[in-house]
Amino acid sequence: MFAIVYKSDGVPICVQMPGISPDPVVVWNSESAARAFIESKGGGKEFQPVSVNEQAMEKMAKALGCPVEKLMLEPYPS
């Protein structure tokens, strides 16, 4: 799985879901799918895909200001 994060601060793209906090991190099944989404939105300079692993999850949680245990993942398209 791959998430898309801002290059500047590592904050991931999330989807807003009523009653859920923090918002779930959106993930793609492959790096190529995540990259294709970034390019389709013209975001190549601002965003990058990252492999979802323990270290990446910790960095995303820190960027969102929440414990890693609170992170949820939501596949794209859902």
Confidence bin at 4 (pLDDT 50/70/90): very high
| pTM of the predicted protein model | 0.92
Q: How would you classify the pairing of strands 2-6 and 47-51?
A: antiparallel
Peptide bond into 22 cis (omega under 30): yes
pLDDT value, residue 77: 82
pLDDT tens-digit readout, 46-77:
999 999 999 999 999 999 999 999 999 999 98
